[in-house]
Amino acid sequence: MRKRILIVDDEKNIVDILKFNLKKESFDTLEAYDGRTALEIAEREKPDLILLDVMLPEMDGFTVCRKLRQTMQTPILMLTAREEEVDKVLGLELGADDYITKPFSPRELMARVKANLRRAVDDVVPQQKNEVLRCADLEIDINRYEVKRAGEIIELTLREFELVKFLALQRGQIFSRETLLEKVWGYEYFGDVRTVDVTVRRLREKLERDPSKPVYILTKRGVGYYFNSVK
Amino acid sequence: MRKRILIVDDEKNIVDILKFNLKKESFDTLEAYDGRTALEIAEREKPDLILLDVMLPEMDGFTVCRKLRQTMQTPILMLTAREEEVDKVLGLELGADDYITKPFSPRELMARVKANLRRAVDDVVPQQKNEVLRCADLEIDINRYEVKRAGEIIELTLREFELVKFLALQRGQIFSRETLLEKVWGYEYFGDVRTVDVTVRRLREKLERDPSKPVYILTKRGVGYYFNSVK
DNA sequence: TTTTCTGTTGATTAATTCTTAATAATTATG
DNA sequence: CATAATTATTAAGAATTAATCAACAGAAAA
């Protein structure tokens, strides 16, 4: 089911770019160029999420947001031009779910749209996540940031934990060092790929019975690392 | 397949530095020294990624970026001299995917180029499907870099795997040693064609029940090698 | 401050890959 | 049919590349 996003902004070219990016990620879009129309369309079309600019003719974004909240709990993501408006946006009486200040990158925008859609789904159908991953005799407790081997707690640092968690969540899947740097270390982080090797080694030192003959975190030479998929 | 990067900058020595670094990591490069030419080349050559300086003669980087976005969604990485430009670069109205401020480290540059290329691919092919080629009792798991014969895992080196994968993907099709060198080893490779023979031999050693009477990878004398096409 | 965590670097070890050359098989030619 | 020429197979060693490991230094946390 394709999600439908209502874009509300009076600047045509902003709407266009938003539309372009949303379509690229296969969302359907609706448009409104003033507050009054926005309310009408939202009412009639029941979009899955609303992107709402603060500065609007006819009726400003704050008012639109407040009114929308009276009838529907569709996620609302507010677009603000200035930092100072942020407080107001996040104000409880408004009920916006998230905000993003201009200028923003397409990537950030899409990330927030997706995050809010996800959250909306979770609220309706609370996702019961398996908080403890079990792989062989290893237990990885996502919430407690704790790893046990055969019942024994193994102390890991944050980075080590994040790495083993990431690999274990998708075990069998091989990840290149570059991908791990991006996914585990974070998008904005651009370090040396050797860093991954060193962290893997430290992890093995703690996790494995014989670090030189790893059983959990394995190397695919020339490709990357992965969590053992058997059992 | 080698990725092609279009470099757009009016300073020759910046272009050279970029080119040097990209070539070192085996990217192919295209160059443009002004905005107008950049658009032409981008249009004609469809590069995989564009490195775009903000300050340009003929047409500034912002305009070039905006124009490019109208026709293609090639990742655009903007080069900016000053921090203040960053806001503008990331501005939604532009549609640039990423930016990097001068002066930049080669490492950061390469990391960003690779990250954006990877992301572009991910966008096209969202989730990796479990691609497993089956040929007779051989299973070739593309994602896991794994080959099984009658359920038994056969350990292959990366090159061996790439070769059998390539042949199996187009089984029946005969490839000359030259073609294999080009497709499996890479464009830039100018090695001895005997290298292919040796790799085939080692592959048979592991794959075949009787390496001297191969069943999977066959020789067409005077032509080349192919993967057995009969079921 | 002291301790712990992280990222970096370089040496060492291990594995892969390429090259060479001798040998075997096949095809062409007299 | 015999022999030469071509082409492929095989083995072995050298060169290259990748991964591991150890040690250090700066940053962050206690």
Q: Pairing relation of β-strands A28-32 and A49-53?
A: unpaired
pLDDT in tens, A77-86: 888 765 555 5
Banded pLDDT at A12 (limits 50, 70, 90): confident
Nucleotide closest in space to A221 (CA vs C1'): D18
CA nearest to nucleotide C26 C1': residue = B221
Nearest-CA distance B6 → chain A (Å): 21
| pLDDT of chain B, 231 residues: tens digit per residue | 678 999 999 999 889 988 888 887 878 899 999 999 999 999 999 999 999 998 888 888 888 988 898 888 899 988 887 655 555 555 545 667 787 877 777 778 888 888 888 877 655 544 445 688 888 789 999 989 999 998 889 989 999 999 999 999 988 899 999 889 888 987 566 778 889 999 999 999 999 988 888 899 999 988 999 998 776
Q: From its phi and psi, is residue B218 left (phi > 0), alpha (psi between -120 and 50) or beta? A: beta
Element (H, E) at B163: helix B158-169
Interface of B with A in 132-171 (CB under 8 A): 143-145, 157-158
Span A99-112, average pLDDT: 71
Q: Is A173 on the interface with B (CB under 8 A)?
A: yes
Q: Is the CB of A202 under 7 A from strand C?
A: yes
Nearest-CA distance A144 → chain B (Å): 29
Banded pLDDT at A127 (limits 50, 70, 90): very low
What does pTM read for this prediction? 0.73
Q: Is A181 on the interface with B (CB under 8 A)?
A: yes
DSSP tag of A216: S
| Selected residue with higher pLDDT from A33 and B86 | A33
Query: Closest Cα to residue B47, out of B13, B85, B115, B1?
Result: B1
Query: Closest Cα to residue A193, out of A205, A201, A181, A211?
Result: A181
Query: For residue A16, what is the nearest residue in chain B, using CA coordinates?
Result: B93
Which tokens go with B94?
Answer: 């532009």
Q: Is the CB of B200 under 7 A from strand C?
A: no
